[in-house]
Amino acid sequence: MREHIAVIDTETTWSGAVMTVGIVIADASNYEIVGYKYYVIKEAFREGGMFDYVVHIKGINEEKVSRKKIADNISAFLMEHDVSSVFAYNAGFDKNCLAFMKDYIWHDIMRIAAYRQYNPMIPTSAECCKTGRLKRGYGVENIMRMISNKDYIETHNALLDARDELEIMRLLGHPSDIYPQI
């Protein structure tokens, strides 16, 4: 049986409540997508947020759930794919947003993608800290442009962003176990 990982992204309301959760399940060895889910939390969507205009995108199936049900739905989906490792870009943020997922092993994509020693596409002219991390411009949008050579714009739709974060992992070409736990 193949090992699966989950890449998760959240978008929040103006007050910081989770509004949407995008989850992409992938084969840990080659980052091929094997499943995905997109959750819209009904109460939070009614409140609105900075990126609520991209919550509903044609062609993306969404599950509208209540705050009470989101934990059960996500846990069941991850269990269905035997996932124990969760990846996110700036994982500390998403882990804090999804406190009910504290028992999963969280890994931070940014802690590899933003470091010169792991990302050969960081230009030699880029300013880096002594640790090798870029001093600025290390968000998903900047990193994706850097490693894909495409004019990429982050959508801020949780599912599409999770897919793009998985693509960063694939393009960097590192095994999943190199990404540090948080």
What are the structural domains of the chain?
Answer: 4-176 (3.30.420.10)
Shortest CA distance to 180 belongs to which of 82, 114, 126?
Answer: 114
Residues 6+ apart with CB under 8 A from 149: none
* Predicted TM-score (pTM) of this structure: 0.95
- DSSP-derived 3-state class of residue 180: coil
User: Which amino acid would we find at residue 12?
Assistant: T
**How large is the average pLDDT for residues 28-46?**
96
Residue 1 confidence (pLDDT): 65
User: Dihedral sign, CA of 58, 93, 72, 25?
Assistant: positive
Q: Please determine, for residue 174, whether its predicted confidence score (pLDDT) is greater than 70.
A: yes
Q: For 87, list phi and psi in degrees, rounded to 5.
A: -120, 145
Interhelix angle 140-148/158-172, nearest 10 degrees: 40
Report residue 125 as tokens: 């002219």
- Per residue in 71-100, pLDDT (tens digit) is 999 999 999 999 999 999 999 999 999 999
**How large is the average pLDDT for residues 30-43?**
97
> Which pLDDT band, with edges at 50, 70 and 90, does 51 fall under?
very high
Query: Looking at per-residue confidence, does 9 or 2 come out higher?
Result: 9
Give the number of other CB atoms < 10 A from CB of residue 120.
9
User: Which amino acid would we find at residue 39?
Assistant: Y
Report residue 8 as tokens: 């998760």
Percent of the chain with pLDDT over 70: 99
Question: How far apart (Å, rounded) are the C-alpha atoms in residues 140 and 40?
Answer: 22
Asked if 41 and 71 count as a contact pair (C-beta separation under 8 A), the reply is no
